[in-house]
Structure 1
Amino acid sequence: MTLLKTRPDDVIPLGEATKAWFGISLQTFGGPAGQIAVMQHTLVDEKRWIGQKRFLHALNFCTLLPGPEAQQLATYVGWLLNGTRGGLIAGGLFVLPGMLALLVLSTIYVAFGNSGTVTALFAGVAPSVIAIVAQAVHRVGKRSLTHPALIALAVGSFIALTLFGVPFPAVVFASGFLGWLLSRRIKEFAEGGSHGPADDGPAPLISDDHLHHELPSKRKSFAVLAIGLTLWFVPVALFALFVRSTPVFVDQGLFFSGAAVVTFGGAYAVLAYVAQQAVSVYHWLAPGEMVRGLALAETTPGPLIMVVQFVAFVGAYRHPGDLNPWVAAVLASLLVTWVTFVPCFLFVILGAPYVERLRGNKSIAGALTGITAAVVGVIGNLAVYFALHTLFDRSRSVDAGPLHFDLPVVSSWDPVAFAITALACYLMFARNWKSMRTIGLCALIGLGVFGVQSVF
């Protein structure tokens, strides 16, 4: 007997759909490509609840949105199967296991991060993250940079971020504007990037006509927007009113709310911006800790953007005000998770009735293509940032006119980190190892090197 009653607009009984989404949530390792593949296999190939074309239609809509596209795809397909509550359940379950797992890992890191064993683990894990990010540059670039103008946008974005210190949101919006302009002049420009061939796949058990749908309504859209914005910002306002001994909750709530609306291209695209602000502006993390947080997030299910929960946890633990540090850390991690994902639900539920109009809009397609190309440069900048703080112990700042960047102190290079990075790159590029397997081996190497050093 299910506790979730079926409504007339439920295409699939909600209890059955919830079980399916829970099963999917436990398999969402490996980044968005792996997460989308799990949903494809379960929903399209195995259960046949939705057809291949409809699935790709939903995926294309989600690529238009800021935020983790795989989580938004789950929300959108849940909406198609069971309306708004189905979307909330599907998207929520997509996040929940990873949130709980990363909360535990963040606690372990803060409690034992200075121990020899944990330090040795991260000495092996951190270099492997460089290989993971480099692979992301290769994959996104191979799929997206199909025109010389797109390559120029990617290179320009990398230079703007790496050498001139242009703010990440400015790069995103400028790339979108340039993409829109270029799509008006270059016919094939907006065709860059694809998620693969739109083959029909197995015949769905449910026709498109029976999937949940509703006519666009200004009145309902306004209600959804009002409710969504209230849910989004009321928790931040409550912390501002009742916790005045530290600004960390309000700072994190507002900062990550802003980051949530500019995360085009996935988590990798915004992490360099988050790392720079968290380390240099707010001092929530030490320079090398963003790499460690990303390594932890890579080992948990769910969206990689969950790494912001680690940032919030560590930052609030170190700036708790009058609160117990552990209480502050848990509250901050929950708050940041909330303000990061509420916008995702809002964008999907608000935009779903208008999806057909958006799909046919070539101007939006051109802007998205420009942003996708820029994301390659943005992720490249992230790889440089991680390499600087992982492969070298020291760096120096260069400020010469408009140029603002950091250079490594060559004499501080870490030969072990270089060797592990080279091995990780070989395993992932030449041997096609998955990120989890690569991280596991590099962690063992870190422990082995630490064991040898402790003996001698």
Structure 2
Amino acid sequence: MPDPTRPSLRALARYFLRLGAAGFGGPIALVGYMERAFVDEHGWVSRQELKDGLAFAQLAPGPLAAQLAIYLGWLCAGLRGATVAGIAFVGPSFVMVVALAALYVRFGGMVWLQGAFYGIGAAVIAIIARSVVKLVRTTVGPGLLLRVLCATSALVTAWTESELLWLFVGCGLVSLGAQMRWRGRAGALALVPPWLVTGLGTTASASLVGTLFVFFASAGLFVFGSGLAIVPFLHGGVVLQHHWLTERQFLDAVAVALITPGPVVITVAFIGYLVAGTLGATAAAAGVFAPVYLITVLLAPRYERWKSDPRARAFVDGVTAAATGAIAGAAVVLGRRAIVDAPTAVIAAATLALLLRFRRLPEPLVIVAAGALGIAIRAA
């Protein structure tokens, strides 16, 4: 008999469709949204279960927010829940990004995008900051050791501007060591309509679409941490190795992902579209999310079994503290890049003040207002 506290498949689909369609702020904010809904508002999972999911998402390869969404779907409704959560979460932003990519190819660039991102980027930092504070408070707790591990991870992430797997594992081992001491122990296209496989260049071949899938599957399999962590890996392959895009086109792809809701890693759909049209976008998105889905549904049952062991719990606590610190450090890195002058500083500060004063203020409304303000400032 189903657990009455768990959501139905329909409720899971409704929630993740909303989150995928209106969840701005990148992985850090998306994790905060999931915590608010699943723990605080609906009580679908316990706070400890969410902490366990965050640790699992950080240890497993792939983008953090998508990994956590699929894990929560699995936790609530098994394989069907993981499938529904993954598709519902990624679907809305995939459609939006493909539509923007089609406009980009059709009209040759988006001058207005820079102005919008100028304002939106600053507002997003405020959304992220609020989420970071709550995550630190609810996932780390009062213990001195976990606070030190969290702060260390934050400092290292902010300094290196990258999220390091060895750091998460190391923090887990430190926590485990302390616990033991305290207790004493990755087809043919002939019949496909041309517009489906036409990007910036000529009509793409079947081999190109296949190459896209394999490349982005490797990105999903070998990149750890938040969706932002995948950007350096993509830059090396898309711009430097395969020469699919120019530097400017790559930056536009990242900007589009940052101003659209849902997971930041959906930038791969924009890149895939520019290279090989709609099929290219589909191959890229399927490639990057397939490892995330498979790893979750294959490994989550085993994770659920051993996580209750005291030694495993101590290790998970250390990894969770490191993951939370890495998220805080990533917020600092993003802040340095988004708050570049007095107007962006004012936008960020004003957004944070509004969010703290009006706790139910819809973030999409804030994002739209910040984007319009950014366009106006750049046009002046």
Give the TM-score taking structure 2 as reference length. Answer: 0.70
Residue among 356, 362, 368 paired with 1:440: 368
CA RMSD of aligned residues (A): 3.9
Matches within 5 A, 1:184-333: 184-186=180-182, 233=186, 243=207, 249-259=213-223, 262-263=224-225, 267=226, 270-271=227-228, 273-279=229-235, 282-283=238-239, 292-297=255-260, 299=261, 304=262, 306-310=263-267, 312-316=268-272, 320=275, 325=276, 327=277, 330-333=278-281
Residues 279 and 93 (structure 1 numbering): CA distance in 2 closer, same or farther, change over 3 Å? closer
Residue among 363, 373, 383 paired with 2:321: 373
Which SS does the other structure have where 1:360 is aligned? Answer: coil
Q: Quote the residue 2:348 is aligned against.
A: 421
Give distance in 2, aligned partners of 1:41 and 1:135.
16
Q: Quote the residue 1:77 is aligned against.
A: 76
- CA contact 2:126–2:348 (8 Å) conserved in 1: yes
Residue among 144, 151, 155 paired with 2:151: 155
Give distance in 1, aligned partners of 2:345 and 2:39.
38
C-alpha displacement of 1:442: 0.8
Q: Quote the residue 2:113 is aligned against.
A: 118
C-alpha displacement of 1:254: 0.7
Q: Report Cα offsets for 1:292-315 as digits up to 9, x if no partner.
A: 345334x3xxxx4x32121x2344
- CA contact 1:27–1:38 (8 Å) conserved in 2: no
C-alpha displacement of 1:134: 2.1
Residues 385 and 122 (structure 1 numbering): CA distance in 2 closer, same or farther, change over 3 Å? same
Residue 180 of structure 1 aligns with an amino acid whose one-letter code is L
C-alpha displacement of 1:439: 1.1
Q: Determine which structure has the larger helix proportion and give its number.
A: 2
C-alpha displacement of 1:332: 4.3
Q: Does 1:136 align with 2:131?
A: yes
Q: Does 1:178 align with 2:174?
A: yes
Residues 421 and 282 (structure 1 numbering): CA distance in 2 closer, same or farther, change over 3 Å? same
Give distance in 1, aligned partners of 2:48 and 2:279.
37
Give distance in 2, aligned partners of 1:257 and 1:39.
27
Residues 181 and 107 (structure 1 numbering): CA distance in 2 closer, same or farther, change over 3 Å? farther
Give distance in 1, aligned partners of 2:212 and 2:153.
31
Residues 97 and 359 (structure 1 numbering): CA distance in 2 closer, same or farther, change over 3 Å? same
Identity of aligned residues (%): 18
Structure 2 unaligned residues grouped into runs of 5+: 24-29, 58-63, 188-204, 240-244
- CA contact 2:216–2:288 (8 Å) conserved in 1: no
- CA contact 2:174–2:318 (8 Å) conserved in 1: yes
Q: Report Cα offsets for 1:360-411 as digits up to 9, x if no partner.
A: 212222222212212233223322332333334xxxxxxxxxxxxxxxxxxx
Give the TM-score taking structure 1 as reference length. Answer: 0.60
Figure out how many residues of one structure are paired with residues of the other and give that number. Answer: 333
- CA contact 2:122–2:348 (8 Å) conserved in 1: yes
Residues 416 and 159 (structure 1 numbering): CA distance in 2 closer, same or farther, change over 3 Å? same
Residue among 51, 62, 85 paired with 2:53: 62
Which SS does the other structure have where 1:163 is aligned? Answer: helix
Q: Quote the residue 1:361 is aligned against.
A: 309
Q: Quote the residue 1:26 is aligned against.
A: 17
Give distance in 2, aligned partners of 1:363 and 1:435.
40
C-alpha displacement of 1:107: 4.0
C-alpha displacement of 1:148: 2.0
Residue 258 of structure 2 aligns with an amino acid whose one-letter code is A
Which SS does the other structure have where 2:18 is aligned? Answer: coil
Give distance in 2, aligned partners of 1:111 and 1:450.
24
Give distance in 2, aligned partners of 1:171 and 1:149.
15
- CA contact 1:125–1:439 (8 Å) conserved in 2: yes
C-alpha displacement of 1:184: 2.2
C-alpha displacement of 1:26: 3.2
